[in-house]
Structure 1
Amino acid sequence: MTQQLLLDILPGTLPTLDGFIAGANQAAIDAVRDLKPGRALYLWGGPGSGRSHLLRAQAHAQSGHYLDARTPAHWLQALATDEDRPLTLVAVDDVGDLNAAAQAALFALFNRWRAAASTKDAFALLTAGDRAPLTMPLREDLRTRLGWDLVYRIEQLSDEDRTQALRDRAGQRGLKLPDDVLHWILIHHDRDMGRLTALIDSLDQYSLARHRPVTLPLLKELLMAGPSGATPPDRPAAE
């Protein structure tokens, strides 16, 4: 039973800021929500802290661009150099994994952002990585640019926060989540709340499709079914 199997079967959901469980991160979430053209914000935190959720959510909310280390460097370079293309927000994730060409492109994008900051062409720049700016494994001039404006650390949720968040999500769906199921999820799954939330949604759909209550055996059955065995949402399985 692998994490990759879990990722394969969970439905794609569009992240939103309202769907992010704040915990100790309310100030960071407010900074993302209030990010205006001409401002830059760097978020950092460990795997599963929710950095990508926040970047994707805000890029969607502001009709912006989301890129990460897997995005071809020339796409980022185009945003940095094509001044005829209007920008609202550019979000660049996992900056510590950018190759040399992508680092050069992000450096150029910072320069465009700074030059446009007080003009009608101003745009917001949102970046994220797994550590503080000056400790990133990047070229020196790019490290300093990451800290040019706002910097926030994203803290991991406490077990109490995660427990309450999962109970709230289940309650929103009218789903009774037994204690043994909740305990198993918290022990065996990673701390990424986006994935945890998607798992609850998938479990609810699977339970409805199978006309069976949520139990630990049903959860394990869902995880073992994989893409070929999972029932599409809102389509009852043949019994």
Structure 2
Amino acid sequence: MSRQLPMRFPLRERFTFERFAVGANSEALTHLRAPADGFRCTWLWGPPGVGKSHLLQAMCHACGGAYVPARELGDVEGYDAFDRVLIDDADAWLGDRPREEGLFRLYNAMLRRGHALALTATQSPAAAHFALHDLASRLRGAACFELTPLSDKDAVPVLKRAARDRGFDLSDEVVGFLMRRVDRSLPELLALLEKIDRASLSASRRVTVQFVKEALAL
């Protein structure tokens, strides 16, 4: 009797390698896109909003495998059935010995089979606090890449593309106004863009600086 495969989580359609805003993170992108010859373990780390989830899901789109959001799942039992296991927010499990033991078993299974394992976290494996010494030793030997936020210059085309995806154009004037007046982190800017889009549709008005001022009460 074949065993049942574990839960599959949905992927965001736009989270592909082609749509990843690279910025200063080209080394990580090159590593992830390169074919893996045998076992490979990768650790991506950085603050929220730098593209960690995007890259893991892009790997799934490009190469197959299982995307696992750690904050939504208690363990990784059964995931060794996949050629690639991509664990998002892995630090949600660190410090929890039973979960670390499950992750350690998965690591060893992927190693034996020559498969690929990738994890994301907000800190490097060297700085992370582990409950299981053996797991810490293995993951601290992973290929490790720090992802950094986009510069203002690199964020501009991302905002314009996000606006086009929603069906409207974002002028240089509006982009410049937003960059000067609000938190310039990309997640915050994209959230504001969604708010502007809803307000524009509701009021049937073009997105101008004056409209943005009114919609965001700036």
TM-score category by the smaller chain? 0.7 to 0.9
The aligned runs of 1:14-93 (5 Å cut-off) are 14-36=14-36, 38-74=39-75, 76-80=76-80, 85=81, 87-93=82-88
Q: Deviations over 1:43-69 (max 9, x none)?
A: 111222211111122123322211133
| Cα pair 1:133 1:144 within 8 Å, conserved | no
Distance change >3 Å, CA 106–CA 190, structure 1 → 2: farther
Q: Deviations over 1:71-92 (max 9, x none)?
A: 3324x12224xxxx3x121111
- The alignment partner of 2:77 has SS state of helix
- Match for residue 112 of structure 1? 109
TM-score, normalised with respect to structure 1: 0.69
- The alignment partner of 2:17 has SS state of coil
5+ residue gaps in structure 2?
1-11
5+ residue gaps in structure 1?
1-11, 118-122, 225-239
Alpha-carbon separation, structure 2, partners of 1:183 and 1:126:
38
> Aligned to 1:135, which of 124, 127, 131?
127
| Cα pair 2:173 2:209 within 8 Å, conserved | no
Give the Å deviation of 1:220: 6.7
Alpha-carbon separation, structure 1, partners of 2:113 and 2:90:
22
The farther-off stretch of 36-45 and 18-27 is 36-45
Give the Å deviation of 1:100: 3.0
Structure with larger RCO (C-alpha < 8 A, sep 6+): 1
- Percent identity, aligned pairs only, is 29
| Cα pair 1:49 1:191 within 8 Å, conserved | no
Alpha-carbon separation, structure 2, partners of 1:196 and 1:62:
30
Give the Å deviation of 1:23: 0.8
Give the Å deviation of 1:178: 4.8
TM-score, normalised with respect to structure 2: 0.75
- Match for residue 173 of structure 2? 179
> Aligned to 2:147, which of 154, 159, 164?
154
- The alignment partner of 2:150 has SS state of coil
| Cα pair 1:77 1:102 within 8 Å, conserved | no
- The alignment partner of 1:127 has SS state of strand
Alpha-carbon separation, structure 2, partners of 1:180 and 1:206:
15
Q: Deviations over 1:180-203 (max 9, x none)?
A: 45432565346246x745765775
Matched, 1:101 2:98: yes
